């Protein structure tokens, strides 16, 4: 019996959030432990906890705002102010900021590659939309495909807050992403993990899928995206 042909994509473009969606969002416990380890200091839970207590006891309103992601200098200054107010020594403050800013340390979910390849192979345009103060292109370029291309070659548009000067939930960042894809909002799906930020895409007419935040790179949940964008694809694969 001839298997049914996969149906046409339900969306012509997909916008993907970064931390919490494609990679594990770093926790402060992990950040502190990693920073202490880089400094050659003890990094047991007992060593991490006093640093966390100091940070929790200091006003973090400024660093919690996505506004700082629109400017590299503002981002650095906000964290420096927070660490200084918490009483962290200069070396630990510098190490903490370096770890927070090193996106190569953020582990990709195991099914990211499959998602990107499937979407690109079906002619679906891909964009990455992130409140971030560093360039994400290199970490995508570091992921190589058997044909010599990289994941970065599969991404058609980058809407990064520090380059655009706007951050979620500002509708402008989603409009910029749509412009990058050269597609109308009605043809695009936004995929994220935070309603208050990624969910704002609906304000510009973009259908939005919110997934639970990724907590373990071994989790596989991006098939939910394919179920919406390429309906029938997995069914057809299973019957072939």
More confident residue, 106 or 8: 106
More confident residue, 238 or 122: 122
Q: Are residues 206 and 118 in the same domain?
A: yes
Q: Are residues 19 and 128 in the same domain?
A: yes
| pLDDT, tens digit (0-9, with 9 covering 90-100), for 56-96 | 999 999 999 999 999 999 999 999 999 999 999 999 999 99
Residue 6 within any structural domain of the chain: no
| Mean pLDDT (whole number) for 151-178 | 98
End position of a domain, from candidates 105, 122, 155: 105
Cα(163)–Cα(173) distance, integer angstroms: 10
| pLDDT, tens digit (0-9, with 9 covering 90-100), for 20-50 | 999 999 999 999 999 999 999 999 999 999 9
Q: Are residues 209 and 127 in the same domain?
A: yes
The pLDDT of residue 128 is: 98
| Mean pLDDT (whole number) for 160-189 | 98
Question: 105 — phi, psi (to 5°)?
Answer: -85, -10
Q: Are residues 33 and 18 in the same domain?
A: no
Q: Are residues 101 and 67 in the same domain?
A: yes
Tally of domains within the chain:
2
Q: Are residues 144 and 93 in the same domain?
A: no
Q: Are residues 169 and 66 in the same domain?
A: no
Residue 74 within any structural domain of the chain: yes
Cα(145)–Cα(35) distance, integer angstroms: 32
Q: Are residues 59 and 169 in the same domain?
A: no
Q: Are residues 35 and 96 in the same domain?
A: yes
| Mean pLDDT (whole number) for 174-190 | 98
Residue 236 within any structural domain of the chain: no
DSSP string, the chain: -PPPPPPPPS-SEEEE-SBTTTBPPPPHHHHHHHHHHHTT---SHHHHHHHHHHHHTS--HHHHSGGGGG-HHHHHHHHHHHHHHTT--HHHHHHHHHHHH-GGGSPBPTTHHHHHHHHHHTT-EEEEEE--SS--HHHHHTSB-TTS-BGGGG--EEEEHHHHT--TT-HHHHHHHHHHHT--GGGEEEEES-TTTGGGGGGGT-EEEEPPPP--TT---THHHHHHHSTTHHHHHHH-
Q: Are residues 114 and 225 in the same domain?
A: yes
Residue 214 CB neighbour total at 10 angstroms: 23
Q: Which domain holds residue 85?
A: 28-105
End position of a domain, from candidates 76, 105, 134: 105
Average pLDDT along the chain: 94
Residue 154 within any structural domain of the chain: yes
Residue 211 within any structural domain of the chain: yes
């Amino acid at each position: 019996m001839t298997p049914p042909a996969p149906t046409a994509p339900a969306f012509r473009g997909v916008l993907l959030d970064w931390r919490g969606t494609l990679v594990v969002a770093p926790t402060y416990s992990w950040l502190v432990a990693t920073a202490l380890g880089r400094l050659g200091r003890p990094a047991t839970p007992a060593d991490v906890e006093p640093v966390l207590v100091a940070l929790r006891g200091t006003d973090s309103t400024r660093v919690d705002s996505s506004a700082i992601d629109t400017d590299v200098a503002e981002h650095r200054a906000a964290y420096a102010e927070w660490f200084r107010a918490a009483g962290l020594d200069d070396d630990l403050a510098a190490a903490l900021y370096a770890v927070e800013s090193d996106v190569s340390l953020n582990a990709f979910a195991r099914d990211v590659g499959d998602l990107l390849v499937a979407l690109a192979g079906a002619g679906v345009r891909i964009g990455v939309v992130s409140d971030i103060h560093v360039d994400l292109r290199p970490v995508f370029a570091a992921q190589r495909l058997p044909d010599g291309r990289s994941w970065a070659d599969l991404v058609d548009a980058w809407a990064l807050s520090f380059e655009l000067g706007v951050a979620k939930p500002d509708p402008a960042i989603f409009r910029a992403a749509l412009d990058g894809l050269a597609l109308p909002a009605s043809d695009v799906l936004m995929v994220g993990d935070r309603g208050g930020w990624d969910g704002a895409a609906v304000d510009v007419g973009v259908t939005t899928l919110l997934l639970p935040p990724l907590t373990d790179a071994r989790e596989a949940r991006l098939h939910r995206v394919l179920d919406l964008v390429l309906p029938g694809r997995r069914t057809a694969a299973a019957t072939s």
